Amino acid sequence: MSEDFVGVLGDNNEESTELFEHFRIVADKGQSLTRVDKFLQNHLENVSRNRVQNAAKAGSIMVNDKAVKQNYRVKPFDVVTVVLAYPPREVVISPEDIPLDVVYEDDDIIVVNKQAGLVVHPGHGNFSGTLLNALAYHFRENGAKVDNGFGYLVHRIDKDTTGLMVVAKNETAQTGLAAQFFVHSTTRRYHALVWGDFTDDEGVIEGNIGRSLKDRVAMAVYPDGSQGKSAVTHYKVIERFNYVTLIECRLETGRTHQIRAHMQHVGHPLFNDGLYGGDIILKGTTFSKYRQFISNCFEEIPRHCLHAKVLGFVHPSTGKELHFDSQLPTDMTSVIERWRRYITINK
């Protein structure tokens, strides 16, 4: 049985891995008492009543920093803010039988542990074989009720990054999750193997991230704030291997390639990250035995060493706090074990 789903997908904005937009409106002194849903419709272009209602249900309409229902009446000088999923664009998603590691699923959301090599959504030459194609098949085969047939994205991770992602099954859940990603109340922790050793056991990397002026595929760090968007990454050393280090990264923001760009910026590119210079020997010796060891490691994990290990958020419908922790993929564990043995043998 073959069936394509024609639906909508959030704007493919590559400047952020978070798929939402934020509006802030201050009511003027002549504002008459007006329901907040009507107020937003009057002030926001191309925003449907349904999107505003979903935002109200999800608790993402705020007046003076407090969540309000859609029947709240706006008065003069009220500060109204709202977080919405990006204006949708139409896409066609064909269900494809692609293996999925489903960690959690209910009527509103699904959490998956994404494998390496799986693009999240169609685009840029990847019009099939994506996570959304896999979800469309999964939902259809399991009789899941999903408004558009394939799910609603609120964040994404790189093709070759593994780990946890949450996808909404309806627009209300999508809006509720988007609001959490916007205020950075979600918990996201990554494990990465990077080149070099760190002086400190933990630290913070800050610096705007935007499109590189030298390579349009890569991102660059602009510490002076002249370009890009603010980004903050906290890191902590887990295990040291002299020439490379296993670290945990906690994100405050969710910029495209944030960990990869920040780590390159501080001189610690991800191990085997070709886009950011981590696919050559950056630390160690010139001995042929060492060069062969590195070559074997690169063959073991032919991608950058990054895994989205921990994901936590508040369920958009029940209000319950959910926390998920995933195992490192076998290619990362194998390379880490190789380094343990190498350091032990060569002490």
pLDDT digits (tens, 9 = 90+) for 299-340: 999 999 999 999 999 999 999 999 999 999 999 999 999 999
Q: Indicate if 125 and 74 belong to the same structural domain.
A: no
Find the mean pLDDT for residues 61-68.
87
Is a pLDDT exceeding 70 seen at residue 19?
A: no
CATH no. for residue 27?
A: 3.10.290.10
What is residue 5's three-state secondary structure? strand
Find the mean pLDDT for residues 216-244.
94
Q: Indicate if 213 and 261 belong to the same structural domain.
A: yes
Per-residue pLDDT of 99-115, as tens digits, reads 999 999 999 999 999 99
Per DSSP, 299 falls in state H
CATH no. for residue 144?
A: 3.30.2350.10
Dump the DSSP string for 226-292.
SSSB--EEEEEEEEE-SSEEEEEEEESS--TTHHHHHHHHTT-PBTT-GGGT-SS--SS---HHHHH
Q: Indicate if 161 and 80 belong to the same structural domain.
A: no
Q: Indicate if 53 and 142 belong to the same structural domain.
A: no
- Cβ neighbours for 76, distance < 8 A, ≥ 6 positions apart: 27, 28, 29, 30, 31
Tokens of 25: 């409106």
If one counts every other C-beta atom within 10 angstroms of the C-beta of residue 302, the result is 13
One-letter amino acid for residue 69 of the chain = K
- pTM attached to this predicted model: 0.84
What whole-number distance in Å separates Cα of residue 111 and Cα of residue 98? 16
Residue 22's pLDDT is 76
Tokens of 190: 């990554």
Three state DSSP letters for 101-152: CEEEECCCEEEEEECCCCCCCCECCECCCCHHHHHHHHHHHCCCCCCCCCCE
Is a pLDDT exceeding 70 seen at residue 12?
A: no
If one counts every other C-beta atom within 10 angstroms of the C-beta of residue 197, the result is 14
Q: Indicate if 166 and 260 belong to the same structural domain.
A: no
Is a pLDDT exceeding 50 seen at residue 31?
A: yes
Is a pLDDT exceeding 50 seen at residue 9?
A: no
Q: Indicate if 11 and 29 belong to the same structural domain.
A: no
Residue 175's pLDDT is 87
CA angle 151, 16, 212 (to 5 degrees): 140
What's the domain count of the chain? 3
Q: Indicate if 99 and 27 belong to the same structural domain.
A: no
Which of 37, 78, 158, 279 is catalytic? The answer is: 158
65 a catalytic residue:
no
Domain that holds residue 246: 187-345
- Among the listed ranges 41-55, 91-105, 213-227, which one has the minimum average pLDDT value? 41-55
